[in-house]
Structures are given as C-alpha cells and as structure tokens.
Amino acid sequence: MTLLPLIFDGVLGFTLLWLAWQLLGSPDLFRAIVLFIAFGLLMALIWVRLDAPDVALAEAAIGAGLTGALLLAALARLGPPSETASLDNQGDRASVAEGGGLPFRRWLVALHLVLACGLGYAVMSLPSAAPGLSDAVANSLALSGVSNPVTAVLLNFRAYDTLLEMGVLLLALLAVWSLGSTPDAPPDDQPVGGVLALLARLLTPLLLLVAGYLLWVGGRAPGGAFQAGSVLGAAGVLLVLAGWRLGRRFAQLPLRIMLVAGLVLFMAVGLFVMLVGGDFLTYPHASAGGLILLIEAAATLSIGMILAALFLGIRPDSRADQ
Amino acid sequence: MTFFLFFALVGIGLFTLGLYAVIVHPHLLRKILAVNVMGSGVFLLLVALAKRSDSVDPVPHAMVITGIVVAISATALAVILMLRVKGETGRVKLPETPQE
Amino acid sequence: MAIDEVVSILLLLAGAVFFFAGTLGLLRFPDIYTRLHALTKADNVGLGLMVAGLALQAESAAAVGKLMVIWLLVLLAGGSVAHLVAAAARRRGIVPWKR
C-alpha cells in the first residue's frame, strides 16, 4: 500500500507542472486564468500532502479563489476577450517570426535549463534530515499563549513580520487607490441575475461564520487571522459581484478605521507591552493568548476589508459620488 | 527519492517555467500570471524542505502564509498598474524592440 | 471485512463512476449547455455518493454533519454557477445544439 501515495504525489506534481506549462503557453488569456485557478486548487492539495494545512487553507481561499477573481475582473476590464485574445495571438506569432527571436529563445531555454539543473543539484545536495527551527518552536510553544505552532510563529515569535505585512497590505491598497481611477473606468453595469444575489445572500452569513470559526480555532488548530481574513475578503468579493456597495455613510471614515484597525491595534499592543516593561511585541506569558486573539480579531477584519477593497480597485467613496 | 524532494524539484520547475514566461511573453497580464507561478514554485520549495525531518518546521509555513497574502496584494497592484498603462497608452503589451 | 465497509467501498466506487461519466461528458458533449448538464448532474450525484460512502466510515456524528454541509454547499454553488454560466451563454446568443 506504500505505492499508492507515491502514485498520488507523482500525479499531483506532474499535473501541476503540466498546468503551469499550459497556462503560461495558451494563447487565450481567459483559458490561462481558469487554468491558474485549477493550479491554485492543486497547490492546496499539495500543501495538505506536505502536512501544511494552514497554508492549504490560505491557498484555497486566496491563491485559487481571490487571485482568480481578481485576474478575471482585470481581463474583463481590459476589453472584449476575443479582441485581446486575437491581439495576443498576433503578438506571439510576430515575436517568434521576428529575425532575432528564435536564437534568443534558444539561448534563453538553455540558460533556464542550466538554472533549473543548478537549483536542483543544490536542493539534492542539502542534508536530508534537518529539523530547522522546529525544535526551538516546540520548546517555547508553551510560553507563546497558543498551541498551534504556525500561529505561534506568526503572532508571537515572528510577530514583527506579520506587523510589517499588515503595513504592506495597506501600502498596496494605498497605491491601488491612488492609481485606480483609470480614464476608462469599468462599465460593470451588467444586470445582476437573481440567482447570484440569492447566492450572495445565502453564503455571506455562512462565510462570516466560517471566518469567525477559523479565527477562534486558529490558536490550537489550523486557521488564524490570515485564513479568516481571506474568507472574509471572499465574502466581500461575492457581495461586490452581486452589485452591493458600501453606503456613502460608511465609505468614508468608518471604512478607513476598519482598514487600519489591524495595524494600529498590533502596534498599540506592541507599545503597550513596552510600557509594562518588556520589549516591543514580547507579550507577558500570562496574557499572551488573549493579546494574540485580540490582535488576530482586528487583523482579520482589516485583512478581509483590504482584500475586498483591492478587488474593487477603486476608492468606494469616489464611486458613491457618481 | 523521498516525496518531499520530488515536490521541491517540482517547485524549481515551476520557478523556471515562470521566469521563462516572464521574459518571453510581452502581454502584461501573462507576466502577472507568470510571476504568480514563480512565487508558487518558491513556496513549494520552502514548504517541501520544511518536511525534511519528522517534526515539521512551522517557520517556513508561517513565511509562506505571509507570502501568499503579500503575493495577492502585489498582484492587485500589478493589475491596477496594467490597467493604468492600458488607459494611458492604449496597449497592454511591452514593445518587442526598444523604442527610439 | 464488515458489511458497512463493503457498502462504503461500493458507494465510493459508484461515486467515482459518476465523476468519470461527468468528466467524459464535459470532454465529449457537443455544446456548452449539454456539457454543463453532464458536469453538474453527474458530479453532484457523484459527490453525494462519495459523502454517503465516507459518512459510513466517519468517527462521529459531527463529522457526518460536516460532510453533509460540504455536499449541500457544493450543490448550492454548483447549481447556481451552472445557471449563471448558462444564462451568460444565452445572453451572448449561443444557440443550444441540435443534431
């Protein structure tokens, strides 16, 4: 029976490579994006095989779901798909037919083969058993306030990374909002079918429930702020697709408070423990669990809102003015 | 060959495929897709190498979760930049030959 | 081998047959509407059989409940998405296939 998982892994790995080849080579961009969504789902399966259920949850929600929706929306904004597809075709043919194109590509393929072989050799020559930091994490897990090691790393041992990442998300949203008002704003006035609205109404409360569950369970089982936040973001994307928009009253200050809440609360907790007498972001052991849950709750809200806002791509209040 | 090494090699394959596609394809949306594939390859390598011993190393897992979230924000930014390029110049591809 | 294990394996195999038929239909049927039909019908039944087969092996009632919720969600999403795809195809003026 040891052969069966081996075959399964082999099929997974080679299908993943084949999908990547297909999606990067197919002349039709719509097809490429759909293949990319399938690629993300396969990645989620591989994370489960590699004993990384936390990563699998994040990948299934973000890598397969949100990124796919984002790219499909971008493709729709680029114009009629048939036109872009044919343009893409012409471009590819032209670039191959061009005089200097083919030798250049041969050299490029050779270089990439050398690169792949070098990297492969480096990986194969690594020591086959290296515990890495797993012992260090396991030894101090009792002090972290949570029992899920990934959450402990994300929000306690390497909380700095997560804090800065919240900043990265906000920066990306700022840049998107600054650049977002393109001259040809998306027409996006398609009549929304009753089925989609019904689906959004049915699924949104359920997604909120799942997000809350993932947040709560993250301390001791796979889950946590990022997974919960991405589920929340998916709920937001569904609502946006069903034609729902933030009211003008909430699009100004309340929205912005929600967006920065995660980062601000994170920093506030970090500074607070400094006042109490520790270093920045080193929680006292007794209250670590509660502080982590507090930070995660705010981070979940912010991540969800930021992801939905990134999908919308335009400042919600600028839309309300129209 | 143990199966985590196999997935590490698959990760390298994805990275190389993505890098090639980033260089070769002039269409900006396909470059965005290719960068995402490259990122997936790096994530796969990291998590596969974290499984080398019996006790799975949680630090790369945390890094990859952070990376996935950063990747989608970078993708959103790239998409907006692409739409802006389309709005300003009317084209979504980089020119094949350097313009004078 | 206990009788419930045999029944479970038979249900899983039947589910796999339905998935196979659905995939075959997706690949071989002539137009978008018939393909959608094959995909959603066969996969929903296939997943139902899989869930029934797995429920027989589940450890607790809660696990059975989770499996059922998964099936209901897939039914809901699959049906809605099939409807949306078909409606979009009709709006684009794709005519259903006639022999």
- Residue B65 near residue A55 (C-beta atoms within 8 A): yes
- Residue A252 near residue A292 (C-beta atoms within 8 A): no
**Interface contact C83-A193, CB threshold 8 A:** yes
**Interface contact B4-A137, CB threshold 8 A:** no
A30, A190, A192, A199, best to mutate vs chain C, most C CBs in 10 Å: A199
Helix intervals (H) in chain A: 3-25, 29-49, 53-58, 67-78, 81-97, 101-124, 134-140, 149-152, 159-179, 194-217, 225-241, 248-251, 253-276, 288-312, 316-321
Residue C34: Cβ-neighbour burial (10 angstroms; 0-12, 13-18, 19+): middle
Q: Report in angstroms the alpha-carbon separations of A145 from A151, A279, A285, B99, C2.
A: 10, 17, 7, 59, 44
Q: What is the pLDDT at residue A315?
A: 74
Q: How many CB atoms lie within 10 A of CB C14?
A: 17
Six-digit token string for B50: 């974290």
Separation CA B21–CA B35 (nearest Å): 9
From A110-114, A126-130, B3-7, the region with the lowest mean pLDDT: A126-130
ipTM (interface pTM): 0.91
pLDDT tier at A81, thresholds 50, 70, 90: very low
Helix (H) or strand (E) holding C82: helix C61-91
Q: How many CB atoms lie within 10 A of CB A82?
A: 10
Six-digit token string for A139: 């030894």
**Interface contact A226-B69, CB threshold 8 A:** yes
Q: What is the pLDDT of residues C61-97, one digit of tens each?
A: 888 998 999 899 888 888 888 888 888 888 887 777 7
Q: What is the pLDDT at residue A43?
A: 93
Q: Which residues pair with B93 in a beta bridge?
A: B27
Measured in Å, how far apart are chain B's first and last C-alpha atoms?
53
**Interface contact A195-C77, CB threshold 8 A:** no
Q: pTM for the whole thing?
A: 0.86
Q: What is the pLDDT of residues A156-208, one digit of tens each?
A: 888 888 899 999 999 999 998 888 765 444 445 455 567 888 888 888 999 99
- Chain A closest-CA separation from residue B78 CA (Å): 9
Residue A43, C-beta contacts closer than 8 angstroms, at least 6 positions apart: A16, A59, A63, A64, B40, B43, B44
Query: Which chains touch B (3+ CB pairs under 8 A)?
Result: A
Query: Which chains touch A (3+ CB pairs under 8 A)?
Result: B, C
For domain B3-89, say whether CATH 3.30.720 is its number: no
Check if C63 contacts A (Cβ < 8 Å): no
**Interface contact B65-A95, CB threshold 8 A:** no
The domain spans of chain A are 145-322
